Amino acid sequence: MIDKKTASFVQALCMGQIEEEVVLPYPEMKQAEKETLEQVIASVNQLLGGRAKDFREWDARGEMPAAFIEELKSFGLFGLVIPEEHGGLGFGSAAYSRALQEIAKHDGSVALTVGAHSSIGMRGLLLFGSDAQKKRYLPRLATGELIAAFCLTEPGSGSDAASIRTTAVKQGDHWLLNGDKLWITNGGFAEFFTVFAKTPDIQKNGKAQLTAFIVTRDLPGVSVGPHEDKMGIRASSTTTVHFEDVKVPDENVLGEVGMGFKTAMRILNAGRTGLGGGCVGGMKRLIALATKQAKERKQFGKSISEFGLVKQKIGEMVVDCYATEAVVGLVAGLVDQGYQDYAVEAAISKVFGTEALWHSSDEALQIAGGNGYMREFPYERVLRDSRINRIFEGTNEILRLFIALTAMNDVAVQLKDVQQSLRAVLADPIKGFGVLSDYALRVAAIRAPQQLGERFGEKLTWKQLHPALQQTAEHFEEATRELAWVSDRVLRRHGRHIIDKQFALKRIADILIDLFDGSLKKKGEEQAARELEILRVFARRARGRIRGNLRRVDVNDDELVKRLADDAFEREAYGWDLI
């Protein structure tokens, strides 16, 4: 029986185990939710369909009109994830992600406006709010009377979120909030802010801990700056938000005092399927645009869709879109089924989806050729819009480090046990052998499956996969076995210094990303033949990448590359002009 509190498919992979029950059967949405979702999809298309000209104009102007935001409110789009008892639609993660997908098919800025509100702006209230807080704010958040924003980033604090300088000091029945937040989505019109501040009175190991607060726009001392002039998602609102001696009532503390960092991370994890859904919507739109464009455009006496290199791009876009939709749907399914430890899987879906969308935007623009470069066509805007996804809600670099380190955590814990067991073995070999941990035996079994594999081998094979995927399954099992060796080896080699071995961590993260994506199939046992082909193409490519990454764990140019970088840092220039 799987323990939904602790089970993580990806963490188990590093231990050489395939926890099949976590990912199969592929999660299904409940019928009632599906029906409501269909209505939402229809109304999204009714509201946003045929407005391409507006979206282009708002992008050029760098703002969407207030009247349009009122329309979004009247269509109920700010209440997607708010429970029905508080006036929302009560969507779970999968339905929410699918709704955002539909919005993103039309426009990235609109998807971000809705997504920043639901995914992160008021997610903390849903996850950690008290009943009184929920009663007070959720009904107005559902109608859009209050639009929400998430305020973590500051001028001196981006990826290093724990280094924020905004402070909240307890004074009687309120907290005095002071500080400046940067690049806050929806900042221009939000009335409800989830704000993270350092609370100097709450210390751990001599360090002030963070606390999350609900801050409303009407509190004296709250102000916002002008709209930022951005590269993409230009019509969405991004501003600074300032807090000057804001008296935040004690009842507005969100979650536990001193637990703000964890609160922020939980919010970001829970919100990732929204961003993932947006990426899928973007890719589906690009496939529709690029296939039409390629069929219409004639060169060398033929439609360019007949050329192999154009087909290759479209084929890859289809595979990437399928893999992203599958992985985002699976993570959403984990959330909806009550799994609690899905942070690594959610991070994988973010990294994979945002990079797949970026690649697809670039390829779609390339297929459109010079037209792709012109503002008259949508490609350059989609490319600009999609670029931000790799930066916000955790940069993909930080998330890769997080994926590898968190996924290997169980191995690290076991290694400590193994070392202790080994000491016991050496002290008293006969008695000691009995205490050699399961982990040590499993690693031995993975290395010599013929001798010891029977006892542990059952954890290393897929049992429910479609027979047509047999070979793919074998490759997956082989890669999992190798991943377990590599995790073990890398951790033994670097010990606690692993945290600084970013080249190695990136390789392990990339292997995990490929494996997790490769473990999926969207539609249960009865696969359409085309879907099996997509899976096979993905799996073959993933296998090539995984083998490359495994090889380079031991044989690589990391030190050379670092030296080249250090040299460039010293010169602050390129140093190898030919003439």
| Nearer residue to ligand FAD within complex by CB, 9 or 183 | 183
Which of residues 46, 130, 159, 471 is near ligand FAD by CB under 6 A? 159
| For residue 25, cis peptide bond before it (omega within 30 degrees of 0) | yes
Do residues 197 and 255 touch, judged by C-beta distance below 8 A?
A: no
- Shortest distance, position 409 Cβ to ligand FAD, whole Å: 18
Catalytic residues: 393
In which residue are the tokens 């946003």 written? 48
CB under 6 A: which stretch of 4-12, 87-95, 207-215, 389-397 binds ligand FAD? 389-397
Instruction: Answer yes or no whether residue 183 interacts with ligand FAD by CB under 6 A.
Output: yes
> Which residues does 115 contact at the CB level (< 8 Å), separation at least 6?
100, 271, 274, 275, 278
The count of chain residues that interact with ligand FAD, using the rule CB under 6 A, is 20
Do residues 435 and 421 touch, judged by C-beta distance below 8 A?
A: yes
Half-sphere exposure for 89 (CA within 13 Å, toward CB) = 25
| Nearer residue to ligand FAD within complex by CB, 271 or 281 | 271
| Nearer residue to ligand FAD within complex by CB, 214 or 520 | 214
Instruction: Answer yes or no whether residue 386 interacts with ligand FAD by CB under 6 A.
Output: no
Instruction: Answer yes or no whether residue 87 interacts with ligand FAD by CB under 6 A.
Output: no
Do residues 47 and 71 touch, judged by C-beta distance below 8 A?
A: yes
Which residue, among 272, 132, 283, 277, has the nearest Cα to 214 in the 3D structure?
A: 132
- Shortest distance, position 184 Cβ to ligand FAD, whole Å: 5
Instruction: Answer yes or no whether residue 397 interacts with ligand FAD by CB under 6 A.
Output: yes
- Shortest distance, position 395 Cβ to ligand FAD, whole Å: 3
Instruction: Answer yes or no whether residue 163 interacts with ligand FAD by CB under 6 A.
Output: no
Which residue, among 417, 419, 422, has the nearest Cα to 432 in the 3D structure?
A: 422
Pure H helices in 448-501: 449-457, 470-494
| Nearer residue to ligand FAD within complex by CB, 166 or 519 | 166
Instruction: Answer yes or no whether residue 267 interacts with ligand FAD by CB under 6 A.
Output: no
Length of the chain: 579
> Which residues does 514 contact at the CB level (< 8 Å), separation at least 6?
479, 542, 545, 546
Instruction: List C-alpha distances in Å: 494 to 214, 398, 400, 498, 506.
Output: 42, 20, 18, 5, 15
First-to-last alpha carbon distance for the chain, in angstroms, is 68
Instruction: Answer yes or no whether residue 137 interacts with ligand FAD by CB under 6 A.
Output: no
What is the C-alpha separation between 374 and 376, in angstroms, rounded? 5
CB under 6 A: which stretch of 31-39, 180-188, 493-501, 520-528 binds ligand FAD? 180-188
- Shortest distance, position 562 Cβ to ligand FAD, whole Å: 13
- Shortest distance, position 156 Cβ to ligand FAD, whole Å: 9
What is the C-alpha separation between 476 and 239, in angstroms, rounded? 46
Instruction: Answer yes or no whether residue 152 interacts with ligand FAD by CB under 6 A.
Output: yes
Do residues 314 and 237 touch, judged by C-beta distance below 8 A?
A: no
Reduced to 3 states (helix: H, G, I; strand: E, B; else coil), residue 41 is: helix
Which of residues 395, 461, 527, 556 is near ligand FAD by CB under 6 A? 395
Which of residues 14, 15, 104, 151 is near ligand FAD by CB under 6 A? 151
- Shortest distance, position 214 Cβ to ligand FAD, whole Å: 15
Do residues 95 and 44 touch, judged by C-beta distance below 8 A?
A: no
- Shortest distance, position 499 Cβ to ligand FAD, whole Å: 9
Do residues 230 and 62 touch, judged by C-beta distance below 8 A?
A: yes
Binding to ligand FAD in span 109-128, by CB under 6 A: 116
CB under 6 A: which stretch of 153-161, 303-311, 334-342, 364-372 binds ligand FAD? 153-161
Instruction: Answer yes or no whether residue 392 interacts with ligand FAD by CB under 6 A.
Output: yes
Interface ranges with ligand FAD (CB under 6 A): 116, 149-153, 158-159, 183-185, 230, 238, 388, 391-392, 395, 397-398, 502
